[in-house]
Amino acid sequence: QVHLVESGGGLVQPGGSLRLACAASGFALPLDYYSIGWFRQAPGKEREGLSYISSSEDRTYYADSVKGRFTISRDMAKNTVYLQMNTLKPEDTAIYYCAASDATTPPLEYNNFWSYWGQGTHVTVSA
């Protein structure tokens, strides 16, 4: 059974950093056969796609809202994908989710490309 488990969320001051982890298990193929994405949903807002790391040569994509501040990476030895978040802002407060896709370049805005989802981890950016 496929599982994606997010961790690393918490309370951080504006300007601070957090590293989120998405631990994967139960996949039929090695993790680098899948594109892994990070999403977030703030209270009262729609889910927003932030970034993904592609199954094709680990290419990465970032939404404009996080480009230059967030970095996605994959550690095959740990079967984990990370999202390093720097220069955090109060508007980054949300529940953060990771998801897996069989597609090479899955659009972040279309849910039907993302087959597996984690339960989320809370991030609060506040003084």
The stretches in the chain having pLDDT less than 50 are none
> Which three-class secondary structure string do you get for 39-89?
EEECCCCCCEEEEEECCCCCCEEECCCCCCCEEEEEEHHHCEEEEEECCCC
pLDDT in tens, 93-109: 999 999 999 988 898 88
Contact 12, 117 (CB under 8 A): no
Contact 3, 117 (CB under 8 A): no
Predicted pLDDT of residue 56: 83
Predicted pLDDT of residue 110: 84
Q: Distances from the Cα of 82 to the Cαs of 68, 112, 121, 127, in angstroms?
A: 15, 23, 13, 25
Contacts of 77 (CB under 8 A, 6+ apart): none
